[in-house]
């Protein structure tokens, strides 16, 4: 039997966000106003709490996020820059400075993770259709044919010029919400009235900006991968200017013959990654990288991910099927365990 969990995770995102909102205390400074909003953009629930002496920015932030989706990243909007690159049939396409910058970060991360993070999985992701109407285990021959085209080295970047070689297709889904967080952070920097904000995209990518009026830390709930509608597994503290991202096997999946087919794929096999991990949460000072690193670390597994996290000066929490939580040294200071069914363990 095929079972999907997309709606559950959207609901989880709303609950996660309301939990964050509920924990915001009353402001001390009467000049600063607090605005809380829920929106829908980038295919997900957007929750925000804004502190400002000026106007509510909910509408313009929603617009910025929708622009990221429709103008840059979408597969389905034929005018998006990614759709244009994918339909160019190997010809060179000139992209915006913004997208060229993101692609440079993404290709570097693909190389640094030794291809665990690979933005050319596009066709393979479509074949599984985990997010679509007909999620299914693909025919092995079809999968083998498409996996041939997966290789981040087939992305040729020359300034603003992008060429995809050998049938590669781009899908930036593993970094898209993080890009949305970066775009929002840059926008907020131009808004002199804003004193602080927390933005949560779908419960999986979070941006913290500035401070709360009482200067208490921003806290983000961590979902229990095996109890997505229940209590949270823990909470992580982040500062203004930091970004958090979670990749988990519970976010999009279907079950068949007792096996969980989820949305994080091993670029070498084209199959979901089954390495005992159920989620990885990463905190660092860049949204795209937090998002990309959480996906990369999920694929690499606990031990192999450590060097990558050190290189990017990022903190991480790994959760496994045996209900262990492994924290990097920087994460130990941020993480608060909220469920006694989980145990914090040392990374060897
Ligand atoms: P995330 O939830 O950020 O870990 O991103 C998962 C999404 O990224 C999936 O739904 C796919 O669209 C895409 N994806 C899956 N596996 C990979 C991978 N190994 N490298 C890059 N993107 C991936
Ligand atoms: Mg990601």
Half-sphere exposure (Cβ direction) of 102: Cα atoms closer than 13 Å: 28
Whether residue 155 is found in the same domain as residue 222: no
Q: What value does the mean pLDDT take over residues 285-305? A: 98
Give pairs for 59-62: CB < 8 Å, separation 24+.
60/187, 61/184, 61/187, 61/199
Among 112, 143, 174, identify where a domain stops: 174
Dist. CA 223–CA 281, nearest whole Å: 10
The structural domain count of the chain equals 2
Atom 15, ligand 1: which residue's CA is nearest? 264
Q: What value does the mean pLDDT take over residues 225-246? A: 96
Whether residue 56 is found in the same domain as residue 111: no
Asked if residue 183 is part of any domain, the answer here is: no
User: By the 8 A CB rule, do 294 and 225 touch?
Assistant: no
User: By the 8 A CB rule, do 15 and 227 touch?
Assistant: no
127 C-beta closer than 6 A to ligand 1: no
User: Which among 132, 174, 266, 278 is the best mutation to test ligand 1's pocket, defined by most ligand atoms within 8 Å of the CB?
Assistant: 174
Share of residues in the chain with pLDDT > 70 (%): 91
Whether residue 269 is found in the same domain as residue 330: yes
Place of tokens 């860049």: 286
Dist. CA 324–CA 326, nearest whole Å: 6
What confidence tier does 348 reach under pLDDT thresholds 50, 70, 90? confident
2 contact partners, CB below 8 Å, separation of at least 6: 135, 136, 254, 255, 256
Dist. CA 21–CA 220, nearest whole Å: 10
Among 174, 205, 229, identify where a domain stops: 174
- 3-class DSSP state for residue 258? coil
The residue count for the chain:
348
Q: What value does the mean pLDDT take over residues 274-283? A: 98
**How does the average pLDDT of the chain come out, rounded?**
92
Atom 22, ligand 1: which residue's CA is nearest? 174
For 161-194, the pLDDT digits (tens) are: 999 998 899 999 999 999 999 999 999 999 999 9
Whether residue 244 is found in the same domain as residue 330: yes
Asked if residue 41 is part of any domain, the answer here is: yes
Q: What value does the mean pLDDT take over residues 226-240? A: 95
Atom 1, ligand 1: which residue's CA is nearest? 174
58 contact partners, CB below 8 Å, separation of at least 6: 35, 37, 39, 48, 50
Whether residue 207 is found in the same domain as residue 162: no
249 C-beta closer than 6 A to ligand 1: no
Whether residue 26 is found in the same domain as residue 100: no
Q: What value does the mean pLDDT take over residues 332-340? A: 97
What confidence tier does 27 reach under pLDDT thresholds 50, 70, 90? very low
What atom of ligand 1 comes closest to residue 177's alpha carbon?
Answer: 3
For 83-115, the pLDDT digits (tens) are: 999 999 999 999 999 999 999 999 999 999 999
For 109-162, the pLDDT digits (tens) are: 999 999 999 999 999 999 999 988 999 999 999 999 999 999 999 999 999 999
Whether residue 205 is found in the same domain as residue 154: no
Asked if residue 88 is part of any domain, the answer here is: yes
Whether residue 97 is found in the same domain as residue 56: no
Q: What value does the mean pLDDT take over residues 220-230? A: 95
The pLDDT assigned to 3 comes to: 36
Whether residue 200 is found in the same domain as residue 330: yes
The pLDDT assigned to 166 comes to: 85
Distance 287 CA to ligand 1 centre (A): 15
Ligand showing the shortest atom-to-Cα distance for residue 204: 1
Asked if residue 47 is part of any domain, the answer here is: yes
Asked if residue 213 is part of any domain, the answer here is: yes
Among 119, 141, 174, identify where a domain stops: 174
Whether residue 111 is found in the same domain as residue 200: no
Which CATH number do you get for residue 288? 3.10.520.10
Share of residues in the chain with pLDDT > 90 (%): 88
Indicate the pTM of the whole model: 0.92
Whether residue 129 is found in the same domain as residue 82: yes
Asked if residue 218 is part of any domain, the answer here is: yes
The pLDDT assigned to 12 comes to: 42
Dist. CA 150–CA 116, nearest whole Å: 11
Domain that holds residue 283: 6-68+195-338
What confidence tier does 30 reach under pLDDT thresholds 50, 70, 90? low
Dist. CA 283–CA 239, nearest whole Å: 10
Whether residue 299 is found in the same domain as residue 210: yes
Q: Is 93 left (phi over 0), alpha (psi -120 to 50) or beta?
A: beta
DSSP state of 72: I
Which CATH number do you get for residue 107? 1.10.3980.10
304 contact partners, CB below 8 Å, separation of at least 6: 116
Dist. CA 288–CA 176, nearest whole Å: 7
- 3-class DSSP state for residue 227? coil
Asked if residue 181 is part of any domain, the answer here is: no
Asked if residue 202 is part of any domain, the answer here is: yes
């Amino acid at each position: 039997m095929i079972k999907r969990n997309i709606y559950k995770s959207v609901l989880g995102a709303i609950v996660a966000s309301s939990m964050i909102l509920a924990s915001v205390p009353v402001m001390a400074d009467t000049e600063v106003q607090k605005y809380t909003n829920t929106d829908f953009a980038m295919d997900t629930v957007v929750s925000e709490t804004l502190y400002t002496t000026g106007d509510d920015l909910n509408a313009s932030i929603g617009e910025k996020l929708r622009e990221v989706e429709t103008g840059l990243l979408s597969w389905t909007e034929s005018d998006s820059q990614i759709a244009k690159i994918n339909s160019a049939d190997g010809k060179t396409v000139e992209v915006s400075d913004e997208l060229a910058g993101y692609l440079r970060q993404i290709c570097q991360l693909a190389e640094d993770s030794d291809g665990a993070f690979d933005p050319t999985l596009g066709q393979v992701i479509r074949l599984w259709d985990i997010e679509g109407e007909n999620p299914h285990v693909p025919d092995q021959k079809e999968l083998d044919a498409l996996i041939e085209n997966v290789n981040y080295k087939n992305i040729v970047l020359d300034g603003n010029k992008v060429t995809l070689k050998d049938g590669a297709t781009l899908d930036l889904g593993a970094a898209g919400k993080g890009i949305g967080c970066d775009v929002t952070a840059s926008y907020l920097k131009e808004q002199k009235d804003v004193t602080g904000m927390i933005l949560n995209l779908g419960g999986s990518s979070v941006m913290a900006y500035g401070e709360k009026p009482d200067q208490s830390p921003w806290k983000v709930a961590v979902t229990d991968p095996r109890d997505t509608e229940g209590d949270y597994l823990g909470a992580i503290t982040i500062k203004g200017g930091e970004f958090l991202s979670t990749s988990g096997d519970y976010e999009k999946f279907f079950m068949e013959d007792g096996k969980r087919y989820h949305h994080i794929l091993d670029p070498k096999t084209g199959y979901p990654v089954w390495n005992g991990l159920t989620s990885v949460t990463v905190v660092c000072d860049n949204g795209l990288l937090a998002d990309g690193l959480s996906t990369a670390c999920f694929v690499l597994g606990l031990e192999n991910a450590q060097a990558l996290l050190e290189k990017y000066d990022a903190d991480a929490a790994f959760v496994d099927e045996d209900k262990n939580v492994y924290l990097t040294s920087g994460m130990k200071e941020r993480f608060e365990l909220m469920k006694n069914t989980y145990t914090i363990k040392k990374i060897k």
